[in-house]
């Protein structure tokens, strides 16, 4: 569900990546593998801007021919789901903190894609919003 299609652009010995869904994504490398490795960090950083700007995080579209997918790590995907659920329900960070019985900085960390939260905490916050986190393992 959180596999973002990206386009690889080859120019004079380097590769850079763009995304139709997340135009703020910046990633580059000397080859495809380096650019794609950097793309996960670039995607998380770009999606963090949406949280900073208090905007819903865009969900990935269907990949077009020639595009490759960049997958968000499980924790980041759960944080995106939490942030978007808060946005859908019109719940700000202060209200979420009240519902969780925690201080607001704790909620700031729960929706910060660059902070390593415990997934159980994100799962609990999702449950408070009527959402359930489901994890599955499939063959790669």
Per residue in 25-48, pLDDT (tens digit) is: 999 999 999 999 999 999 999 999
What is the model's pTM? 0.92
Q: What is the pLDDT of residue 110?
A: 96
**Would you list the domain boundaries of the chain?**
3-71, 74-128
pLDDT tens for 72-108 read 999 999 999 999 999 999 999 999 999 999 999 999 9
Burial class (CB in 10 A: 0-12, 13-18, 19+), 121: middle
Q: What is the pLDDT of residue 92?
A: 96
Question: Using the 8-state DSSP alphabet, how is residue 139 labeled?
Answer: -
Q: Which fold has domain 3-71?
A: Double Stranded RNA Binding Domain (3.30.160)
Q: What is the pLDDT of residue 1?
A: 77
Q: What is the pLDDT of residue 136?
A: 87
* Cα–Cα dist 102/98, whole Å: 6
């Amino acid at each position: 569900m959180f596999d973002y299609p990206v386009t690889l652009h080859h120019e004079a010995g380097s590769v850079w990546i763009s995304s139709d869904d997340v135009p703020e994504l910046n990633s580059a490398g000397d080859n495809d593998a380096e650019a794609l490795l950097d793309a996960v960090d670039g995607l998380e950083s770009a999606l963090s801007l949406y949280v900073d700007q208090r905007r819903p995080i865009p969900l990935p579209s269907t990949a077009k021919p020639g595009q490759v997918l960049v997958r968000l790590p499980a924790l980041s995907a759960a944080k995106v789901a939490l942030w978007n659920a808060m946005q859908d329900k019109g719940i700000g960070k202060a209200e979420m903190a009240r519902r969780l019985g925690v201080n607001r900085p704790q909620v700031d960390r729960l929706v910060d894609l660059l902070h390593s939260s415990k997934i159980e905490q994100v799962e609990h916050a999702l449950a408070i919003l009527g959402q359930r986190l489901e994890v599955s393992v499939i063959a790669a």
